[in-house]
Structure 1
Amino acid sequence: MSQISSLAVVLTRRLGSNVRIDPFAVIRSDVTIGDDVLIHPHVVIEDGVTIGDGVEVFPGAYLGKPPKGAGALSRTPRAEGVVEIGPGCSIGPHAVIFTDVRIGASTLLGDGASIREQSRIGSRCMIGRYVTINYNTQIGDRVRVQDHSWLAGNMTIEDDVFISGGVGTSNDNAIGRHGYLEDETRGPFIARGAAIGLGANLLPGIRIGVRAVVGAGSVVTRSVADDALVMGVPARERVR
């Protein structure tokens, strides 16, 4: 039996069974919620969001935020008004998921994580606290991104990648001085099974190879071969 607080604003009729919605949550009319979903206080869910079975959304999360440029951005945001959250996911307090985002089953978003439009996250991923995933970032299955890492727009992360805390990435060698050029603004490509150490920085357009390891604090300025170990500033290959 579902439990819907009288202090929540629930406009949708597409509710599964055994749903609990706590006080002061706001659920718009074009929202679909599966079975056994728990929505904590002060969650806002906008139109176009679909939530799978067994999902828990913690207090203050915002699902379906429309991207707004406010005249300050050099890139014009583009997004469909759709969010899909797979079954068994956990959405942490104050996480923000923009429109046009799809998240696979049993994925965890930590407290304050921000997922921008056009991004895709696979199944059984762990996105740590206060991680930013920028626009059009594609993440495979079983990826782990530790707290406070920053993933640039237009980048790809394949399956089974580990990214440690405080890792930075970038997608524009001109540092914004030439405006936004779609064909030239590309983040790193991180191939399957790679591991990125604490506080490393990955520059635009490089490829981190299959099962490669990037040492802590490294600045990676060029592509890394499969199975290689690199470290240093700038990062250079070492014997494993």
Structure 2
Amino acid sequence: MSRSIHSSARIGEGVKLGHFTVIEEGAVLGDNVTVGNHVTVHSDTVIGEGSVIADHAVVGRWPKPAKTSTVKVDADLPALVIGKGCTIGSHTVLYRGSRIGDEVLVADHAFIRENCTVKERVVIGRGVAVENQVEIGSQTKIQTNAYITAYSRLEDDVFIAPGVTTTNDNFMGRTEERFRHVKGPTVKKGARVGGAAVLLPGVVVAEESFIAAGAVVNRDTEPATVYAGVPARPLRPVPEGELRET
């Protein structure tokens, strides 16, 4: 048998299924969905019409943290929902409990953990890691190998360059005190973060801030200001010609 489709799965019109694909109980595939070879669609996952799931992707899997992990799995975690017209790359892993908006691209080898919200027309590049409880606004772009830590928030039209690292724990896993302070960065509308920059726990990158490559942001920034250095310091205003049209 080249594929396995549970009898309770609902498959729309014009759906194309690759070889050795598994569609589990209660999954819903909208019209004109394309599913590649060796794909697993876990139970109850919803895939919007016209979306493409590439070879070897795993969508809707339950999280299974280590025994020592601080993450607790909700037994009532809702199904993964993938919007219309999305492209989910090869070898991606998308967890149950997240919602992916319309026309989102998740590139090869990326993963998105549980309880994340990704709004419409977002680009998540190759090898990007999005941890649990992350919010990503519409038309945001996250490029290759960036790391978006748990409890981060990226607003609309944010740009995250390759290799950016975000952090959420100043105690790095030591002491019970850390649980009161765990918080990822907030990156406000239109802000841009350059390659290999590091955002420390809880910082707020203000609207239209520009963070230079390699900078370490350890405090909140001012709007429409260029920051560079370790630690990051304000250099000059962002030129008016580079600001978003409002």
Letter matched to residue 48 of structure 1: D
Give the corresponding residue for 1:9: 4
Aligned residue for 2:72, secondary structure, equals coil
Whichever residue aligns with residue 8 of structure 1, its letter is R
CA shift, 1:76, in A, is 2.0
Task: Name the counterpart of 1:18.
Answer: 14
Q: Partner residue of 2:220?
A: 223
Partner of 1:65: 61
Q: Which residue of the partner structure matches residue 209 of structure 1?
A: 206
Q: Which residue of 2 aligns with 1:3?
A: none
Letter aligned with residue 225 of structure 1: E
Q: Where does the alignment leave 5 or more consecutive residues of structure 1 unmatched? A: 1-5
Equivalent residue letter for 2:194: G
Q: CA deviation at 1:183?
A: 3.7
Pair 1:191 & 2:195 matched? no
1:135 and 1:99 map into 2 onto residues whose CA distance is: 11
Query: Per-residue CA shift, 1:40-69, capped at 9, x if unaligned?
Result: 010001112000000000011001111112
Query: Which of the numbers 161, 172, 177 marks the counterpart of 1:175?
Result: 172
**Number of residue pairs aligned between Structure 1 and Structure 2:** 235
**In 1, Cα distance between equivalents of 2:227 and 2:73:** 35
The answer to whether the Cα contact below 8 Å between 1:66 and 1:81 also exists between their aligned partners in 2 is: no
- 1:141 matched to 2:129? The reply is no
Take 2:156 and 2:176, find their aligned partners in 1: how far apart are those partners?
32
In structure 1, give the amino acid aligned to 2:200.
Answer: L
1:43 touches 1:60 (CA, 8 Å); kept in 2?
yes
Unpaired segments ≥5 residues, structure 2? 238-246
Cα pair 2:12 2:32 within 8 Å, conserved: yes
2:156 is aligned with 1:159:
yes
Taking the aligned partners of 2:142 and 2:85, their CA distance within structure 1 comes to: 19
Given the alignment of the two structures, is residue 36 of structure 1 paired with residue 5 of structure 2, yes or no?
Answer: no
Equivalent of 1:239 in 232, 236, 239: 236
Q: Deviations over 1:3-59 (max 9, x none)?
A: xxx511011441110001111000002100000000001000111200000000001
Identical aligned residues as a percent: 33
Q: CA deviation at 1:72?
A: 2.8
TM-score normalised by structure 1 residue count: 0.95
2-structure distance, mates of 1:69, 1:55: 29
- Match of 1:237, SS state, is strand
Tell me which of 73, 77, 83 is aligned to 1:77.
73
Shift of 1:180: 8.1
1:168 maps to a residue whose letter is: T
Taking only aligned residues, the RMSD between alpha carbons, in angstroms, comes to 1.3
Shift of the alpha carbon at 1:184? 1.2
CA contact (8 A) 1:64 1:81 kept: no
Report if aligned partners of 1:167, 1:197 keep a CA contact under 8 Å in 2.
Answer: yes
